Amino acid sequence: MKQVLVIIFFVLVSLSVKASQKSEAFVVEFNDSNIQVLSPDVRRNQVSVVIKNNTLDKLTSKLSTVDNDIEFFSVPSQMTKVFDIKLKNNEKLFVVPLSPSMQEIELVFSRKAYAIPSKN
């Protein structure tokens, strides 16, 4: 009986940890097998974007909106860069990986954490 209670406790704790993945910034994590994205719960006109490169290659990308490119950047392997971005109302924000080339990633506020498979 005691073992069953311990197992139930650990299952509940692991579920609550998984459900509480939240952030005040966009966190875009590039891995060898996928790209993981974590979004802020509330839309703001001033937002931070954290780019983590967990791959073995240098990542070259750009941050852009529908109308213009905001910033081109490179992130060395196993490094992180942070960008502070000002958005207009209802303006969409994208991360566009240029090298290695991958699909454009729209950063959507209030979206649950998700992963995009890599095109290997």
- Asked whether residue 9 is assigned to any structural domain, the reply reads no
- Asked whether residue 4 is assigned to any structural domain, the reply reads no
Task: Report how many domains make up the chain.
Answer: 1
Q: Which structural domain range is residue 57 located in?
A: 23-117
- Asked whether residue 67 is assigned to any structural domain, the reply reads yes
Angstrom CA distances, 54 to 20, 66, 95, 109, stand at: 23, 27, 16, 23
Instruction: Report the alpha-carbon distance of residue 54 to residue 56 in Å, rounded.
Output: 7
User: Which pLDDT value is given to residue 24?
Assistant: 84
Instruction: Report the alpha-carbon distance of residue 51 to residue 95 in Å, rounded.
Output: 9
Q: CATH number for the domain including 75? A: 2.60.40.420
Instruction: Report the alpha-carbon distance of residue 52 to residue 47 in Å, rounded.
Output: 16
Tell me the residue ranges of DSSP E strands in the chain.
Answer: 26-30, 34-38, 46-53, 59-64, 69-75, 79-86, 93-99, 105-107, 114-117
| Rounded-to-10 torsion of CA 73, 83, 27, 69 | -50
- Asked whether residue 107 is assigned to any structural domain, the reply reads yes
Parallel, antiparallel or unpaired: strands 105-107 and 114-117: unpaired
In tens, the pLDDT along 15-70 reads 544 444 557 899 999 998 899 999 999 998 899 999 999 999 999 999 999 989 99
- Asked whether residue 6 is assigned to any structural domain, the reply reads no
- Asked whether residue 18 is assigned to any structural domain, the reply reads no
User: Which pLDDT value is given to residue 34?
Assistant: 92
Q: Considering only CA atoms, which of 77, 76, 25, 71 is closest in space to residue 49?
A: 25
Phi and psi torsions of 74, nearest 5°: -130, 140
Q: Record the pTM.
A: 0.78
- Asked whether residue 87 is assigned to any structural domain, the reply reads yes
- Asked whether residue 73 is assigned to any structural domain, the reply reads yes
